[in-house]
Amino acid sequence: MCAFQPFALESSIGAKEFVRFTMSLAHASKHVGSRGTCLRSSYVEISRFVRTRHHGITPNRTTICSVRALRCFSSSRELRTAIEPDAKLRRALDEYKATIPKSLSVQEGTSWKKLDDGPEMPNFETSGYLSTRRDVNKKLSFTMLRNRGQSYCIQLVSTSNNGGPAAEAHERLRSLKEWTPVIVRGALRTREPAKSETHLGMKLVANLEVAVEEIIPVNEVSDDIIIKDDTVFGPEQRHLQLRTNKELRDNILFRGRATTVAKGWLTTNGWIEYETPLLFKSTPEGAREFLVPTRQKGLAYALPQSPQQYKQILMASGFIRYCQFARCFRDEDLRADRQPEFTQLDMEAAWCSDTSIMLNVERLLTHLWLQLLRHKLPSVFPRMTYEEAMSSYGSDKPDMRFEAKVCSKRQKKDVSVNHGQIHNITQHLTSDLTGKITPLQDPTIDAFKIRISSDPKITRKFIASFLDSPEGKPYLDNPNGQPGIFIGDLSQPMQGLGPLGYQYVMEGPESLAVDHGDLLVLQARPNAPLSGGSTVLGNLRLALYKAAIAQGLIDPPAPDDWRFVWITDFPLFTPTDDTDPGQGGTAGFASTHHPFTAPKTPEDLDLLLTDPSLAKAAHYDIVLNGVELGGGSRRIHNAAVQEFIFRDVLKMKAERIEDFRHLLDVLRSGCPPHAGIALGWDRLIAVMRGKESVRDVIAFPKSGRGEDGMVKSPNRVTEEQWETYHLKVKE
Ligand code: ASP
């Protein structure tokens, strides 16, 4: 019925009459004020008009929209006057007409790999981007043609020797800029084998070339665009960087392949892909959210910081294994190479324990490494508790490559397995010495040693230059005291450790015994349970390794030295600071992971009643070479326990707990136990490609200020646009 109404309307009013009517409305509405008011009054008028012409028929919303569309279309046709193009526009239109491709197919361009083994072809047609050209003389040129994907290139030979269309094509070709996209026709013929197998990083078709008979540019490269081999493009020219930078292209293509391989494994192993909404609601899950205002006054959606709640709801909905390549949004500090929007491979399974998720992830990662990097990973990944990681490495994402191989091959010395681990040496130091290291009362003193050189002079020079550099400055400014630096020197009493005192030298940990040229670093910290992601000494340890590698004092880890480790037994809660929105409770701490993570054991659950700060979580992070690839947990699947944690442990306000009512209702409907994980897909791909920054594996990344320089977002919107959402920018 609705679909026919516009036609009924048009025929009974008469199109001309209707157009006249709507035009006069449009004219009148110009004087009414804002666009919204004017449209509204137009609708009212149309509706009144229609009602008087059609007794008893009240147009519904569809009718009104159709009337509006018809009004715009008809009035613009009546008012239209033909455009008279000037010479420039005429030329542009004609040139465009000539370049409209007639016979391009998606398959073409994939077959260049096979060209070299194939026969000569008198009528050959291909396409791609022009590359470098060498003009031998006026009559002969050699031009390289890149295939569409810039993986291969072939030599084009053009000559004006025989006149006719080939000579015309020769002249045309010489007038075109590098990177012009062209269709080439000619004879594919044998050439003298090319001296090089590659050209500008592309494979060169070595045994065949194209004698050009016709060349059709399908677009032009504007004169103001300069594309040279070494051009570094700004973010606004990301498309040119993507087109011309082989490494970046390879990263993006690798990413696509990795996603396909992962999806293959997931499908084979019974993980089904689900989609969950991007327009979600604001809930205090932990990260700062992006809000999406709606036209309903005071109401907003929030973009999901992860599909956590929906995937748990899917588990309560009777699905068993969920996965999704999910877009997630967090309005967080972007300095640490984070993106405000990013991709996670999100997984969740019902009737499942934490260890089962960990095993599945190990199998998936092993598959990815084998398929994409041809590297066999160990079948079981090592596990380490948070406590162990923080106390031995000063980080909850320890880089295990630095513990076994810290000694340069050039030094030809034995490698000590404990090298680089942090040890608590407080008990071996006198209070007199401790007082010199730190202003803290009752501190903890940690230390590690690192073999920089077998020559104390070199080690001394290294550490002095490090501490003088901007990287070293924060460690000198530490209010808990500067690092204590000692250098092993066999020519000195007590190997150069005399200032640490007799007691330390006699009783200190065996694994910190120094050799000639070893660097021993001490650092004080408050005597309190370890929390957060790293300690000052942990950061200093990593910074020193990096600096020593950069100076060639320590060999860099091999590119295929992949050290995975699971970190488990995180504290369920972490003290809050001002930067962390947490769950907004008043307990002074927030969930370390998110508030849906279950306590690890029944004893940990009991601790929630007495001392929640001691409770451990059923939370696991997967770490590779010092990078956290992802994390997950077993969830609280019981509504009463979940509500108890919100209300009594985190001490959230009642109205914020109500934001989670949907989840509590779902949990009390017989939700089975479930667990899951999310792998940061950008980060995982960056690590696989040996890239430090996720920006190198994202086609259109945002800058450190959260801006996309290509499209220039975020952009300013008008007052009227804000008004649509009942919002106003505060001056
Ligand atoms: N939603 C979590 C996150 O984004 C992952 C998980 O617990 O599965 O970190």
pLDDT tens digits along 105-119? 666 655 787 787 788
Distance 542 CA to ligand 1 centre (A): 27
Identify any residues that bridge with 384 across adjacent strands, giving them in sequence order. 567
Question: What pLDDT is attached to residue 59?
Answer: 46
Mean pLDDT over residues 310-318, rounded?
A: 98
Q: Given ligand 1 and candidates 594, 682, 683, which is best to mutate, with the most ligand atoms within 8 Å of its CB?
A: 594
pLDDT digits (tens, 9 = 90+) for 497-538: 888 888 888 888 888 989 999 999 999 999 998 989 999 999
Distance 409 CA to ligand 1 centre (A): 41
Mean pLDDT over residues 363-375, rounded?
A: 98
Question: What pLDDT is attached to residue 11?
Answer: 36
Instruction: Give yes or no for residue 693 having a pLDDT over 60.
Output: yes
Highest mean pLDDT among 26-40, 216-230, 251-265: 251-265
Question: What pLDDT is attached to residue 613?
Answer: 94
Distance 377 CA to ligand 1 centre (A): 24
Mean pLDDT over residues 176-202, rounded?
A: 93
pLDDT digits (tens, 9 = 90+) for 623-671: 999 999 999 999 999 999 999 999 999 999 999 999 999 999 999 999 9
Q: Residue 423: count other Cβ atoms within 10 Å of its Cβ.
A: 19
Task: Give the contacts of 446 (CB within 8 A, at least 6 positions apart).
Answer: 391, 394, 422, 423, 424, 425, 522, 523, 525, 535, 537
pLDDT-wise least confident of 527-531, 685-689, 717-721? 527-531
Around ligand 1, the residues with Cβ closer than 6 Å are: 306, 308, 631-633, 676-678
723 vs 23, which has greater pLDDT?
Answer: 723
Distance 691 CA to ligand 1 centre (A): 23
The SS3 of residue 129 is strand
Question: What pLDDT is attached to residue 72?
Answer: 55
Instruction: Give yes or no for residue 302 having a pLDDT over 80.
Output: yes
Distance 633 CA to ligand 1 centre (A): 8
Question: What pLDDT is attached to residue 75?
Answer: 61
Pick from 404, 385, 509: which is nearest to 447 by CA? Answer: 509
Instruction: Give yes or no for residue 439 having a pLDDT over 60.
Output: yes
With left for phi above 0 and alpha for psi between -120 and 50, is residue 582 left, alpha or beta? left
Distance 651 CA to ligand 1 centre (A): 22
173 vs 101, which has greater pLDDT?
Answer: 173
Distance 319 CA to ligand 1 centre (A): 18
Q: How are beta strands 152-159 and 202-217 bridged, if at all?
A: parallel
Instruction: Give yes or no for residue 53 having a pLDDT over 70.
Output: no
Could you report how far apart the first and last alpha carbons of the chain are, in Å? 50
When pLDDT is cut at 50, 70 and 90, the band that residue 9 belongs to is very low
pLDDT-wise least confident of 291-300, 348-357, 572-581? 572-581
pLDDT-wise least confident of 228-232, 334-338, 385-389, 413-417? 413-417
Locate the ligand 1 atom nearest the alpha carbon of residue 619 and give its number. Answer: 7
With left for phi above 0 and alpha for psi between -120 and 50, is residue 442 left, alpha or beta? left
User: Which phi and psi (to 5°) does residue 197 adopt?
Assistant: -85, -15
User: Which phi and psi (to 5°) does residue 574 adopt?
Assistant: -130, 140
Instruction: Give yes or no for residue 406 having a pLDDT over 90.
Output: no
User: Which phi and psi (to 5°) does residue 436 adopt?
Assistant: -80, -20
When pLDDT is cut at 50, 70 and 90, the band that residue 204 belongs to is very high
How does the average pLDDT of the chain come out, rounded?
A: 87
Task: Give the contacts of 384 (CB within 8 A, at least 6 positions apart).
Answer: 398, 565, 566, 567, 568
Question: What pLDDT is attached to residue 19?
Answer: 40
Q: Residue 467: count other Cβ atoms within 10 Å of its Cβ.
A: 16
Distance 677 CA to ligand 1 centre (A): 6
Locate the ligand 1 atom nearest the alpha carbon of residue 597 and give its number. Answer: 7
Measure Cα distances from 703 to 236, 441, 658 in Å. 11, 43, 36
583 vs 417, which has greater pLDDT?
Answer: 583
Mean pLDDT over residues 668-691, rounded?
A: 97
Instruction: Give yes or no for residue 155 having a pLDDT over 80.
Output: yes
Question: What pLDDT is attached to residue 108?
Answer: 63
Question: What pLDDT is attached to residue 712?
Answer: 97
Q: Given ligand 1 and candidates 306, 623, 682, which is best to mutate, with the most ligand atoms within 8 Å of its CB?
A: 306
Torsion of CA 231, 232, 238, 240, to 10 degrees: 10
Q: Given ligand 1 and candidates 308, 309, 330, which is best to mutate, with the most ligand atoms within 8 Å of its CB?
A: 308
Question: What pLDDT is attached to residue 56?
Answer: 40
pLDDT-wise least confident of 68-82, 525-539, 593-607, 634-648? 68-82
Question: What pLDDT is attached to residue 25?
Answer: 40
Distance 255 CA to ligand 1 centre (A): 21
Question: What pLDDT is attached to residue 414?
Answer: 44
State the Rg of the chain over Cα: 34
What does the DSSP 8-state code read for residue 647?
I
Q: How far is CA 3 from the centre of its chain?
A: 45
Question: What pLDDT is attached to residue 290?
Answer: 97
Distance 561 CA to ligand 1 centre (A): 27
Q: How are beta strands 300-302 and 443-451 bridged, if at all?
A: unpaired
Atom 8, ligand 1: which residue's CA is nearest?
677
Q: Which amino acid is at 220?
A: E
Tokens of 151: 């993986």
Burial class (CB in 10 A: 0-12, 13-18, 19+), 98: exposed
Handedness of CA 222, 224, 229, 233 (dihedral sign): negative
Locate the ligand 1 atom nearest the alpha carbon of residue 305 and give its number. Answer: 4
Atom 4, ligand 1: which residue's CA is nearest?
306
When pLDDT is cut at 50, 70 and 90, the band that residue 102 belongs to is low
CA 599/CA 604 separation, integer angstroms: 6
When pLDDT is cut at 50, 70 and 90, the band that residue 77 belongs to is low
Question: What pLDDT is attached to residue 71?
Answer: 58
pLDDT-wise least confident of 144-153, 338-347, 505-514? 505-514
Full 3-state SS string of 597-636: ECECCHHHHHHHHHCHHHCEECEEEEEECCEEEEEEEEEC
Quote the Cα angle for 624-625-631, to 5°: 30
Locate the ligand 1 atom nearest the alpha carbon of residue 630 and give its number. Answer: 9
Number of H helices, E strands in the chain: 24, 22
Locate the ligand 1 atom nearest the alpha carbon of residue 596 and give its number. Answer: 7
Handedness of CA 336, 341, 343, 346 (dihedral sign): positive
pLDDT digits (tens, 9 = 90+) for 447-459: 999 999 999 999 9
Query: Which helix (H) or strand (E) covers residue 127, if one does?
Result: strand 121-137
Locate the ligand 1 atom nearest the alpha carbon of residue 348 and give its number. Answer: 8
Asked if residue 642 lies in contact with residue 636, where contact means CB atoms within 8 angstroms, the answer is yes
Instruction: Give yes or no for residue 277 having a pLDDT over 50.
Output: yes
Question: What pLDDT is attached to residue 229?
Answer: 78
